[in-house]
Amino acid sequence: MSVYQVAAKILDKLQRKEGALKTLVYDSKYKNIRQLYALLCETVRYSAVLEEIIQSSSFLKGDVKMTRNLAKVVVYDLLFGKGVQCGGRLKAVVIAHRTRLRAELARMKVKKNVSSNKDLVTSLGGPSAGSAMPRYVRVNTLKTSTNEIITYFKRQDYTYLGKARRIEELSELGQKKGKKFLQDLHVPDLLAFPPDTDFHKDALYLAGHLILQDKASCLPALLLSPPVGSFVIDACAAPGNKTSHIAAILQNKGRVFAFDLDTKRVSTMSTLLLRAGVTCQELANQDFLTVRLDDPKYQKVSHILVDPSCSGSGMPDLMRVHTDASSGPEQEKRLQALSGFQCRAVSHALSFPSVQRVVYSTCSIHQQENEDVVMKSLEQNPDFRLVNALPSWPLRGLNTFPESSYCLRASLSDTFTNGFFIAVFERKSNQNESSTQTTVEKNCHSAAQTKDDLKVSQAGDERQNGPVVVDSGNCIKKKTRKRKKKRKTELQ
């Protein structure tokens, strides 16, 4: 099968919401997943432009027999990519229509008064340079330090712009020419690079020193903030990005019990955690809802992360492909089913005997999976209250119940991240609350005062030396086979 046929099938599945783009790419078993992934990302980015060109050129009318998604990927490569990369009938058909398709593209640019392809995407509501998401890189503090990594990139001719002071600086990275990067203002060990920066072949990424993780997805572990040495459950853990973040916060001391229902994903998680140098984990291919509350193993668990399966509607690939498919009774039924499971998972987490703090997160934009789940969980678990999660964060939960603003939301346009939602629950009778805060603050200070930090501040970058920020007790800075495994890890 050609790359176009495989890509078209993946777009079909994406529209039917059968999985996230990356997962579908891995599962395709296509020999060159990198090429396939790049083609799909770009086709999705140009989706609106391609739709309009295919429509106005009447490409799919007459004798051309192919699905709309096959047309999209092949027309993408003809007009914006490397040229059609296959032979046979598919190529012959596209070449026969080449002149008309190119003419439609030129006409569209005149109509929209733009000269570049990039501006054309923006004019049709695609991601603009201003709102493009930076490439976020989390420094794996189990293997290195942020300052070692800053030095590493400076040696590779990147210009270090210091620590961002305003959230908008992150999106402005895409507008600046050259190799530049910033330290994030909310997540201590997170760096932000221009959107198209590719680290998949970087030696430190391959060695597990760098984790390619969206900023919003770094917040749950940070807001959970388990003290070093504590016992933690990651309820729906695979592929394990948040598990490795939790292990880094624990400094590999204590225990992380990581559960996941999906066998393949547990095996990927095992590989990734090994690469990240995590040693405090105990993985289980098990339904979290069946984990016994009276099992002696979990009696000391004080912190739980619940990051369950969700609609994934906050992920840009899904947002751009699902223009029509995201409403109607089918969608509502699916959201209710997800929401039911999410409520059960949160309530189960809140029932562990020693649990003090539970963080609930989704990459969904739907109220049913977010605020509604939190409201029901609070009603069903009166011993818990919400913590005001990162009060300085600009985007809050929808105003649907009294403390909904204690939840946080994230989006591409407001926070320059994927769409995300987080709520932090805390036990009301938490006698240890102040000691938890102390531990968190202590962690922050020690993180801010490593030898490397001192070296960097002495180097004179004053933007590096912001104050220690403690938000409601949550420190937000200073605070099968080899080949298969390789394929899995390549796109993480």
Residues that bind ligand SAM (CB under 6 A): 217, 236-242, 259-262, 265, 287-289, 307-309
Are 160 and 154 spatial neighbours (Cβ–Cβ below 8 Å)? yes
- Is 240 marked as a binding-site residue? yes
Q: Which is nearer to ligand SAM, 289 or 398 (CB)?
A: 289
> How far is 258 from 240, CA to CA, in rounded Å?
8
Q: Which is nearer to ligand SAM, 260 or 453 (CB)?
A: 260
Q: Which is nearer to ligand SAM, 222 or 238 (CB)?
A: 238
Angle between helices 21-28 and 3-15 (to 10 degrees): 140
Q: Closest separation between CB of residue 286 and ligand SAM, Å?
A: 7
Structure tokens at 460: 């004179």
- Is 241 marked as a binding-site residue? yes
* Buried-state track 135-148, b at ≥16 Cβ within 10 A, e below 16: bbbbbbbbbbbbbe
Q: Which is nearer to ligand SAM, 262 or 414 (CB)?
A: 262
Are 170 and 416 spatial neighbours (Cβ–Cβ below 8 Å)? yes
Structure tokens at 446: 């020690």
Q: Closest separation between CB of residue 422 and ligand SAM, Å?
A: 12
Q: Which is nearer to ligand SAM, 313 or 439 (CB)?
A: 313
Q: Which is nearer to ligand SAM, 84 or 233 (CB)?
A: 233
Q: Closest separation between CB of residue 71 and ligand SAM, Å?
A: 32
Could you tell me which of 37, 97, 106 has the C-alpha nearest to residue 73? 37
Structure tokens at 162: 């210091």
> How far is 52 from 49, CA to CA, in rounded Å?
5
Catalytic residue (choose from 363, 407, 444, 475): 363
- Is 307 marked as a binding-site residue? yes
**Tokens 């036990």 correspond to what residue?**
427
Q: Closest separation between CB of residue 22 and ligand SAM, Å?
A: 11
Beta bridge partners of 136: 192
Structure tokens at 223: 């807001």
Sequence-distant (≥ 6) Cβ neighbours of residue 50 within 8 angstroms: 43, 71, 72, 75, 76
Beta bridge partners of 303: 232, 357
Q: Closest separation between CB of residue 223 and ligand SAM, Å?
A: 14
Catalytic residue status for 280: no
> How far is 415 from 169, CA to CA, in rounded Å?
11
For residue 271, the SS3 value is helix
Q: Write the single-letter amino acid at 483.
A: R
Are 147 and 436 spatial neighbours (Cβ–Cβ below 8 Å)? no
Q: Closest separation between CB of residue 214 and ligand SAM, Å?
A: 10
- Is 238 marked as a binding-site residue? yes
DSSP category for residue 158 = P
Residue 244: Cβ-neighbour burial (10 angstroms; 0-12, 13-18, 19+): buried
Angle between helices 88-96 and 68-79 (to 10 degrees): 70
**Greatest alpha-carbon span in the chain:** 74
The 10 Å Cβ neighbour count of residue 176 is 13
> How far is 410 from 413, CA to CA, in rounded Å?
9
Residue 92: Cβ-neighbour burial (10 angstroms; 0-12, 13-18, 19+): exposed
Q: Which is nearer to ligand SAM, 44 or 237 (CB)?
A: 237
**Tokens 């330290």 correspond to what residue?**
183
Q: Closest separation between CB of residue 68 and ligand SAM, Å?
A: 29
Q: Which is nearer to ligand SAM, 217 or 281 (CB)?
A: 217
Residue nearest to ligand SAM (CB): 236
Q: Closest separation between CB of residue 269 and ligand SAM, Å?
A: 7
Please state the residue numbers annotated as binding site for S-adenosyl-L-methionine. Answer: 236-242, 260, 287, 307
Question: What are the catalytic residues?
Answer: 363
Please state the residue numbers annotated as binding site. Answer: 236-242, 260, 287, 307
